[in-house]
């Protein structure tokens, strides 16, 4: 068999066509639905229940009849068990074919060739008014993992952060920075700019709650600011009640300052963005106006007191939602745009730049996202953004809230993770340099955090508990990292041990064969993540793989193996495991340390 052919598909096709032929010889024309059994020894199965029903036979009778009519194959053998036709690939041959195929990919294992698809993943996009808290930390972790898995799957991906520099939050921040004396504020939690500047935002917010003149003031500023942005006059002085308050360009620079601090948290989490797109872009390049003009032509569009809205009444039944908000407001009475309107402009632009747009959003954005899609359809947009929603992380005592001071900052969690990891490393290693200790502690600490945020289905709520967030035992990043380090340790003792021709048929031990099979599941796990956005399946896959590697490690001595050919095959299996574990961890944005 040619090394470039994927054995899974090859064997599956062989079984499928043999089954189809046998079925046809029984006069059954249905295309058989071949499944992967969840349990049991076999590799594939054909449940015969529905076929038997249509043929008027008992399932086990049909299975046996099909079995009797199947041509024998060198690739697999088949048995009939309680209504199932079970197919088991010829173990030695299959494992060898898998290993040869994987080995031929070299260091590129798990990377598909470019598929020509351009994907934009928008994630994180938190308002630039203060540091990240862990309530939203799932967003960058899920988003970045998706980006990595798409890249591994061969897509050309852009990770995009949509920065809200046009809204009330941004204006409150700037107003605070220019009108509140720093000496009136309490000390900041950290030196980082996001922690420093959030104090101005909080103070401005507090003032708005007590001072009724604040709200109209901010609204006037926002309106004047939008006008300045629309006419590309960033030097314009933005005033209210005739008094100058800020310059238009101050808003953007304030956001950028806070964003600097936020970017450094992202980088600590191993999250990299490719581009930051500011909301003001949509205003300054005129696309906001084009959106409004375009939607004006929609039959759903209505006007009231100068405000434009889409009348969604007709969609009520379709959505099975009697209380569907009937109006999707596009502009205020004064003609100025709203967040959702700018979002439409952004999406039109984004969709024109890629083949697939994916948004990672908190579940609170579901409704807004639905409205967005309706508006995009009204504008004639055929491709719509895909969404990945996640539920919030809350605290045992309730929802995180900055105002009630009930919040855990991401920066604190990151520090805590690294310092817990450091303690664990120190328990086991005394030979490390300070730099080595830091590097391993960081890999382990941050890895454990990221792992715990992607290991569960995104739409499940998470209650944040320190001991769980920093879990280093069992199904955790360090468990997987440890297997990787063990592999590296063996390879380090004989770096040339797998060079030359490898005889994969030397791998006959059950734990070797199990490991090879598990290694071959990397590709399918990556494509499930990339194509169906099920990124949470990578974590349990890696745990299972690491566990199989540990069994192999226990059962099969490598360096001490005396038969040179078997030793080489085992060395190569260790190298293959190292590559696959490394690739999987890379997909999760988790470092794969050489030693722990």
State which of positions 118-147 bind RNA (CB under 7 A).
127
Which of 181, 241, 293, 323 binds RNA (CB under 7 A)? It is 323
Which of 31, 209, 274, 364 binds RNA (CB under 7 A)? It is 364
152 to 191, contacts with RNA by CB under 7 A? 164, 166-169
Q: Closest approach of Cβ 198 to RNA, in Å?
A: 15
The answer to whether 208 touches 218, Cβ cutoff 8 Å, is yes
- Burial tier of 2 (Cβ tally within 10 Å: 0-12, 13-18, 19+): exposed
**Main-chain dihedrals φ then ψ at residue 181, nearest 5 degrees:** -80, 125
Which of 338, 384, 407, 439 binds RNA (CB under 7 A)? It is 338
Q: Closest approach of Cβ 180 to RNA, in Å?
A: 20
Stretch that binds RNA, among 188-196, 245-253, 534-542, 582-590 (CB under 7 A): 534-542
Q: How many CB atoms lie within 10 A of CB 188?
A: 16
31 to 50, contacts with RNA by CB under 7 A? 37-40, 42, 45, 47, 49-50
Give whichever of 407 and 594 is closer to RNA, judged by the CB atom. Answer: 594
Q: Closest approach of Cβ 143 to RNA, in Å?
A: 18
55 to 114, contacts with RNA by CB under 7 A? 59, 81-84, 86
Under the binding rule (CB under 7 A), the answer on residue 466 touching RNA is: no
Give whichever of 344 and 425 is closer to RNA, judged by the CB atom. Answer: 425
Stretch that binds RNA, among 139-147, 235-243, 244-252, 483-491 (CB under 7 A): 483-491
Give whichever of 190 and 365 is closer to RNA, judged by the CB atom. Answer: 365
Residue in the block written with tokens 């995180």: 400
Residue 105 to residue 183: CA distance in whole angstroms? 61
Q: Could you give the residue ranges of the DSSP H alpha helices within 429-508? A: 434-454, 466-469, 477-493
535 to 564, contacts with RNA by CB under 7 A? 536-537, 540, 543, 547, 550-551, 553-554, 556-560
Does an H or E element contain 89, and which?
strand 84-89
* 291-300: Cβ within 8 A, 24+ apart: 291/330, 291/341, 291/344, 291/345, 291/348, 291/379, 292/330, 292/331, 292/337, 292/341, 294/378, 294/379, 295/330, 295/344, 295/375, 295/378, 295/379, 298/378, 298/379, 300/378
Give whichever of 322 and 435 is closer to RNA, judged by the CB atom. Answer: 322
Give whichever of 378 and 424 is closer to RNA, judged by the CB atom. Answer: 424
Which of 70, 137, 150, 485 binds RNA (CB under 7 A)? It is 485
- Burial tier of 191 (Cβ tally within 10 Å: 0-12, 13-18, 19+): exposed
Give whichever of 16 and 272 is closer to RNA, judged by the CB atom. Answer: 16
Residue 19 to residue 43: CA distance in whole angstroms? 15
Q: Closest approach of Cβ 165 to RNA, in Å?
A: 9
Which of 274, 317, 321, 563 binds RNA (CB under 7 A)? It is 321
Which of 14, 307, 315, 379 binds RNA (CB under 7 A)? It is 307
Count CA atoms closer than 13 A to 479's CA, side-chain side: 21
Does an H or E element contain 572, and which?
helix 564-587
Which of 363, 503, 508, 565 binds RNA (CB under 7 A)? It is 363
431 to 460, contacts with RNA by CB under 7 A? 440, 444, 455-457, 459-460
The answer to whether 467 touches 561, Cβ cutoff 8 Å, is no
Q: Closest approach of Cβ 34 to RNA, in Å?
A: 11
Give whichever of 292 and 354 is closer to RNA, judged by the CB atom. Answer: 292
Residue 226: strand pairing partners: none
Stretch that binds RNA, among 283-291, 407-415, 425-433, 498-506 (CB under 7 A): 425-433
The answer to whether 260 touches 273, Cβ cutoff 8 Å, is no
DSSP string for residues in 314-374: GGTTTTT-TT--SEEE-B-TTS-B-HHHHHHHHHHHHHHH-SEEEEEEEGGGHHHHHHHHH
Does an H or E element contain 122, and which?
strand 118-122
376 to 405, contacts with RNA by CB under 7 A? 391-392, 394, 398-399
Give whichever of 91 and 272 is closer to RNA, judged by the CB atom. Answer: 91
Does an H or E element contain 259, and which?
helix 248-268
Number of residues that bind RNA (CB under 7 A): 100
């Amino acid at each position: 068999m040619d090394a470039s052919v994927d054995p899974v598909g090859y064997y599956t096709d062989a079984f499928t066509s043999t089954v189809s032929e046998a079925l046809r010889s029984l006069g059954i024309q249905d295309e058989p639905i071949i499944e992967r059994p969840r349990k049991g020894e076999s590799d594939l199965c054909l449940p015969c229940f529905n076929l038997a029903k249509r043929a008027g036979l008992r399932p086990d009778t049909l299975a046996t009849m099909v079995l009797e009519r199947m041509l024998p194959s060198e690739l697999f053998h088949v048995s009939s068990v309680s209504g199932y036709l079970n197919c088991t690939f010829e173990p030695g041959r299959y494992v060898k074919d898998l290993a040869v195929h994987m080995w031929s990919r070299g260091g590129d294992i798990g990377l598909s060739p470019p598929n020509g698809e351009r994907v934009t993943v928008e994630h994180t996009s938190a308002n630039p008014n203060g540091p990240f808290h862990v309530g939203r930390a799932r967003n960058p972790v899920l988003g970045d993992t998706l980006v990595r898995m798409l890249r591994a799957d061969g897509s050309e991906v852009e990770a995009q952060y949509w920065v809200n520099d046009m809204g009330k939050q941004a204006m409150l921040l700037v107003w605070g920075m220019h009108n509140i004396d720093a000496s009136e504020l309490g000390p900041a939690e950290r030196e980082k700019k996001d922690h420093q500047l959030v104090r101005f935002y909080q103070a401005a917010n507090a003032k708005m709650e007590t001072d009724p003149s604040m709200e109209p003031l901010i609204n006037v500023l926002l309106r004047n600011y939008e006008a300045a942005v629309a006419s590309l006059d960033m030097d314009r002085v933005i005033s209210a009640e005739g008094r100058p308050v800020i310059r238009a360009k101050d808003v953007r620079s304030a956001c950028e300052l806070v964003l600097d601090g936020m970017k450094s948290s992202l980088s600590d989490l191993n999250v990299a963005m490719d581009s930051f797109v500011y909301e003001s872009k949509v205003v300054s390049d005129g696309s906001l106006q084009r959106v409004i003009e375009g939607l004006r032509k929609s039959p759903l569009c209505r006007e009231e007191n100068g405000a434009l809205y889409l009348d969604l009444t007709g969609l009520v039944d379709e959505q099975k939602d009697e209380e569907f908000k009937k109006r999707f407001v596009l502009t205020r009475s004064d003609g100025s745009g709203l967040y959702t309107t700018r979002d439409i402009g952004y999406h039109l632009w984004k969709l024109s730049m890629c083949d697939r747009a994916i948004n990672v959003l908190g579940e609170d954005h579901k409704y807004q996202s639905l409205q967005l899609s309706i508006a995009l359809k009204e504008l004639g947009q055929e491709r719509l953004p895909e969404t990945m929603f996640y539920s919030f992380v809350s605290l045992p005592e309730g929802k995180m809230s900055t105002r009630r001071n009930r919040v855990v900052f991401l920066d604190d969690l990151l520090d805590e993770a690294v310092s817990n990891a450091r303690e664990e490393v120190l328990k086991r290693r005394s030979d490390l340099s300070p730099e080595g200790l830091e590097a391993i502690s960081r890999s382990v600490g941050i890895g454990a955090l990221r792992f715990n945020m992607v290991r569960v289905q995104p739409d499940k709520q998470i209650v944040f508990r320190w001991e769980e967030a920093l879990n280093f035992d069992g199904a955790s990043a360090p468990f997987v990292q440890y297997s990787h380090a063990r592999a590296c340790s063996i390879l380090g003792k004989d770096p040339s041990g797998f060079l030359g021709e490898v005889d994969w048929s030397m791998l006959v031990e059950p734990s070797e064969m199990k490991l090879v099979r598990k290694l071959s599941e990397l590709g399918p796990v990556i494509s499930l993540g990339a194509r169906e956005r099920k990124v949470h399946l990578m974590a349990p896959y890696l745990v299972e793989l690491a566990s199989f590697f540990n069994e192999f490690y226990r059962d099969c001595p490598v360096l001490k193996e005396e038969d040179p050919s078997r030793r080489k095959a085992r060395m190569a299996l260790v190298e293959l495991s190292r590559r696959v574990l490394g690739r999987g961890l890379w997909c999760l944005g988790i470092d794969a340390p050489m030693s722990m």
